Amino acid sequence: MAPRKIIIDTDPGQDDAFAILLALASPEDLEVLGICAVAGNVPLALTQRNSRIVCELAGRREVRVFAGCEAPLKRKLVTAEYVHGKTGLDGPVLAEPTMPLQPGHAVDFIIDTLRREPVGTVTLCPLGPLTNIATAFLKAPDIVGRVQEIVLMGGAYFEVGNVTPTAEFNIYVDPEAAEIVFKSGVPLVVMPLDVTHKALTSRRWIEGLRSMGTEVGRVAADWADFFERFDVSKYGSDGGPLHDPCVIAYLINPDLFTGRRINVEIETRSELTLGMTVADWWGVTGRPANALFMGALDARGFFDLLTERLARL
């Protein structure tokens, strides 16, 4: 079977970096058509820089990286340096990237790619706020029906919120964009905190990365060291959740995940629950299902996959 064609939309972030590395290490499964940066964890100037740093680390300078939207559709940007550090990729000492940023806007790249490729052959993989995706859908409604699937990291139900009591960060940053995407009719697979909080790093796993003796292993271990400190302190957990690699792992091996097809609506008006993914897990509303909302993860299989693929780079 031919590799699945994907566009990664991202705001790196250490966990985004792991997701990008996993995708780039899996050419038999995934063809990365391009990487689109969006403002989120840190501002756009840093997310596009960080995307190129990760490509260079993977030895994939030919991958095209585009800069996208620098602010949410209707709101002031909220960032997460308190989690990811001032650069978004704090931890290891990293050189500035030398591979070029592509000319043109990421939104136009998404539109042009979906119009060029056969209908139903391109999967969108948002790892951050959904601003780029929603903007593309608004600008070119004809592309909506051409998308094969959207597999995204965002939202929560049983785990509630990580940036407010009820909202997960990616959805909270641009709830209007999320509403557009969730109402688009495109098949959706959602990796909420309910799943990603089960993808916890461990000291043994991090030291295993370091013991690979490669630059990727060293940098990835340093990223994991820095990234996990926030969640260990906040939740009292033994490690940090690798949110975004869940998206890529699902595309490689969907059997690692278990979920339920449900209706998910996005709260855009309430001051109290802004950005909440109102997930009808028990089917009480009668609204039609619009997302495969994941609830469980084979964590051992997930980390085995991640280790095996990172060792290739």
Q: Which of 84, 105, 197, 243 is catalytic?
A: 243
**Residue 132 and residue 69 in contact, taking contact as beta carbons nearer than 8 Å:** yes
Q: What are phi and psi for residue 149, nearest 5 degrees?
A: -170, 155
Nearest to 264 by CA among 246, 286, 284, 289: 289
**Residue 172 and residue 164 in contact, taking contact as beta carbons nearer than 8 Å:** yes
**Residue 13 and residue 244 in contact, taking contact as beta carbons nearer than 8 Å:** yes
Distances (CA, A) of 180 to 73, 131, 135, 177: 11, 10, 9, 5
DSSP reduced 3-state for 234: helix
Q: What are phi and psi for residue 6, nearest 5 degrees?
A: -135, 155
Distance between CA atoms of residues 148 and 119, nearest Å? 7
**Residue 287 and residue 280 in contact, taking contact as beta carbons nearer than 8 Å:** yes
**Residue 129 and residue 39 in contact, taking contact as beta carbons nearer than 8 Å:** yes
The alpha-helical segments, DSSP class H, found in the chain are 14-24, 44-57, 81-84, 106-116, 131-139, 169-173, 175-182, 193-196, 203-210, 215-235, 245-252, 299-310
Active site residue 84: no
Task: DSSP letter for 241, please.
Answer: B
Catalytic (active-site) positions:
243
